[in-house]
Amino acid sequence: MNKLVDKFGRIHDYMRISVTDRCNLRCVYCMPEEGMEFEPSDRILSYEEIEAVVKAVAKMGVRKLRLTGGEPLVRREIEKLIAMLSAVPGIEDIALTTNAIFLESKAEKLREAGLTRLNISLDSLKADRFSMITRGGDIKRVMRGIDAVVRAAFTPIKLNVVLMKGINDDEIQDFIRLSMEKPLQVRFIEYMPIGHDDNSWREKYISLDTIFEAVEKMGLSYESEVLVYGNGPAENYRIPGGAGSFGLIHPVSEHFCDTCNRLRLTADGSIKPCLYWNDEWNVRPLAGDDRAIQALFLRALDAKPENHEMAMALSRESQTHTPTVRRMSQIGG
């Protein structure tokens, strides 16, 4: 059986699966203010179709899955899909990225179904600002969701903070304190130009060097930390004595494409070998035919470029491929 190795020698053992393009929030970096035209339900992969794709690629070496959206918890009985996927031979790890609005009532069910890890999107600790960024979200529900997954003994629990100039960059120290007080991995993420047809994202982009500057202003020291779970792209650090840690993910300024091990499956059934580029191959018509699914994944992987060139977009240089026109909520970042 052919393994998922591209022409640059990168081994792909990780797949991100968007289970829906729908979301209960409208985050400023994820959707336009007027909202989105969502796919009709009959265009979205069924749980059985997702399971069929996973069974095929698990035979090619995929071991880790992440369920995304949209917001995956708006998908009815998502724990059933998790149970189905956790039973697939070869799958060792299933994670989920969520805005946590519906997490409080789901935490125990997700754990029992076989979910191993959680990422929670939280871009502000201030109620009014959180509501502004998410266009209506209630931060109290998010914090109750975080408490629920701590009680359910999930580990690690990661908080994803998209850092935006002039919006939440004054909260860096607050997030650092949170990483000291609770067993959480706070991860600061650079603003990315996904699905933007203009240059407005540059106005909000800010270097993650500001994180270290903020820690030093607090009079604190930090130490590098090697974390095993997830084998992700974050550079991880810890304040000595803190309950948790913090990390930096800089896909634009210091891309990690040379170690990329992931593929993406959109909610409507398209394989995306790279988050940023427009190239897609729809696998849905092949569900149930392992060989055909595997052949299409190999074809998509063969077209995967060496890197995404987001830094070139930041510096206004011309790029070698066509950036995606899909928004982050449609891809399943």
Q: Tell me how far CA of residue 150 lies from CA of 153, 203, 319, in angstroms.
A: 5, 36, 43
Q: 254, 249, 165: which is closest to 205 by C-alpha?
A: 165
Q: Which two tokens stand for residue 309?
A: 């060139």
Q: Is residue 64 part of a domain?
A: yes
Name the domain count of the chain.
1
The reported pLDDT for the residue numbered 35 is 73
The reported pLDDT for the residue numbered 333 is 62
Q: Is residue 278 part of a domain?
A: yes
Q: Which stretch of DSSP H or E encloses residue 300?
A: helix 290-302
Q: Which residue has the tokens 């052949």?
A: 295
Q: Is residue 160 part of a domain?
A: yes
Task: Name every residue whose Cβ is closer than 8 Å to that of residue 163 and which is 6 or more positions away in sequence.
Answer: 169, 172, 188, 189, 190, 191, 206, 208, 210
The reported pLDDT for the residue numbered 223 is 95
- Rounded Cα distance between 14 and 35, Å, is 30
Q: What is the pLDDT of residues 198-249, one digit of tens each?
A: 566 778 889 898 999 999 999 999 999 877 655 567 899 999 999 999 999 8
Q: Is residue 2 part of a domain?
A: no
Q: Is residue 108 part of a domain?
A: yes
The reported pLDDT for the residue numbered 315 is 46
- CATH code where residue 184 lies: 3.20.20.70
Q: Is residue 275 part of a domain?
A: yes
Beta strands 270-272 and 223-224, pairing class? unpaired
Q: Is residue 314 part of a domain?
A: yes
pLDDT lower than 70: segments of the chain: 1, 193-200, 228-232, 251-256, 276, 308-329, 333
Q: Is residue 9 part of a domain?
A: no
| HSE value, Cβ hemisphere, 13 Å, CA-based, for 1 | 15
Q: 209, 150, 221, 214: which is closest to 185 by C-alpha?
A: 150
- Rounded Cα distance between 20 and 181, Å, is 34
SS3 call for 95 = strand
Task: Name every residue whose Cβ is closer than 8 Å to that of residue 160 and which is 6 or more positions away in sequence.
Answer: 97, 119, 120, 121, 122, 187, 189
| HSE value, Cβ hemisphere, 13 Å, CA-based, for 6 | 22
Beta strands 281-282 and 185-190, pairing class? unpaired
The reported pLDDT for the residue numbered 198 is 55
Q: What ranges make up the beta strands (E) of the chain? A: 14-18, 64-68, 93-98, 117-121, 157-163, 185-190, 223-224, 235-238, 245-249, 262-265, 270-272, 281-282
Q: 3, 2, 14: which is closest to 259 by C-alpha?
A: 14
Residue 269: domain span: 14-331
